[in-house]
């Protein structure tokens, strides 16, 4: 990796948690400058705009989250273990205290930034697909009831997780824990 690539990556990694917390509109170049200790020229020498930094920050956060979730799934043997491991990432990962990047960026981009909205939409579908794959594999391995509609259940779980994250941010982590425990209890009904 060249020095320019390392500097660019450093800016993305320093800016990402700030943008995730404060939002794209709420994050100023001054915030990014303070986090990186770089002058405005040092930042704009690597990025054309704040929007480009925001897009790269989202892609970085999305990748980080996906890696954590995929690792958790890989540690499970059964469909139930895989799902519960995945849900435990949402429950225990400290970065979730600032919110899921899909939720945070999606809420802001839905009416204001069609390019970002498209990237967040892809991330949402990817998250739903992760749940879908666990359920589908569980059905194929005769671990789960064939009465499950994997598409419907994966969308429902995704929506509940994202809603739980929002409730956790607004009201407290106890509500997030209640949502995740509820998903686990509902899922157990389908285990053979």
pLDDT digits (tens, 9 = 90+) for 36-89: 999 999 999 999 999 999 999 999 999 999 999 999 999 999 999 999 999 999
Q: What is the dihedral of CA 80, 105, 109, 58, to 10 degrees?
A: -100
Fold of 56-188: Tetracycline Repressor; domain 2 (1.10.357)
Which structure tokens are listed for 38?
A: 């770089």
User: Rounded CA gap, 50 and 28, in Å?
Assistant: 8
What pTM was computed for the model? 0.93
At residue 99 the predicted structure's pLDDT band, cuts being 50, 70 and 90, is confident
The whole-number pLDDT of residue 98 equals 79
Q: What are the two backbone dihedrals, phi and then psi, of residue 191, each rounded to the nearest 5 degrees?
A: -75, 130
């Amino acid at each position: 990796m060249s020095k320019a690539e390392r500097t660019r990556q450093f800016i993305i990694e320093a800016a990402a948690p700030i943008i995730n917390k404060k939002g794209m509109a709420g994050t100023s170049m001054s915030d990014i400058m303070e986090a990186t200790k770089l002058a405005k020229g040092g930042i704009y020498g690597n990025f054309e705009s704040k929007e480009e930094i925001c897009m790269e920050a989202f892609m970085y956060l999305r990748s980080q989250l996906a890696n954590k979730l995929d690792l958790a799934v890989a540690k499970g043997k059964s469909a139930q273990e895989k799902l519960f491991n995945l849900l435990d990432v949402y429950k225990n990962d400290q970065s979730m205290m600032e919110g899921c990047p899909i939720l945070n960026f999606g809420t802001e981009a839905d009416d204001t930034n069609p390019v970002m909205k498209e990237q967040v939409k892809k991330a949402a579908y990817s998250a739903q697909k992760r749940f879908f794959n666990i359920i589908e594999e569980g059905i194929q391995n005769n671990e789960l009831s064939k009465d499950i509609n994997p598409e419907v259940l994966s969308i429902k779980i995704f929506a509940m997780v994202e809603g739980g994250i929002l409730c956790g941010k607004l009201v407290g982590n106890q509500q997030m824990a209640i949502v995740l425990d509820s998903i686990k209890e509902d899922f157990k009904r389908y285990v053979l």
